[in-house]
Amino acid sequence: MASLIHCPHCGVRPKEEFSIRGDASLVRPDPEASDEAWHDYVHIRSNPRGRYREHWQHVAGCRRWLVVERDTFTHEVFSVTDGAATAREAGR
């Protein structure tokens, strides 16, 4: 069975229409942060097994950024929210 993602703007679509950016929990360091903080932000990533929040872009549809919560082992999708709405709620 193909993996499906429910885009809040376009409806249920195959995952091949999307591109993954990565971890949705990362917070960009302050421009004056140390080199070590920037190194960690740019280069150091965890590769968790299990439930995880990621940024995805619907490149073959509305082109909007989404936050997708899914299981990295089973690929089950638990939730999809608009990325802009998520950023507003977080105060970014």
**pLDDT of 1 over the 80 cut:** no
Please tell me the distance from the alpha carbon of residue 37 to that of residue 14, in angstroms, as a whole number: 36
Please tell me the distance from the alpha carbon of residue 60 to that of residue 64, in angstroms, as a whole number: 10
11-69: pLDDT as tens digits: 999 999 999 988 888 888 999 999 999 999 999 888 889 999 999 999 999 999 999 99
Structural domains present in the chain: 4-27+35-90 (3.30.2270.10)
pTM for the complete prediction? 0.79
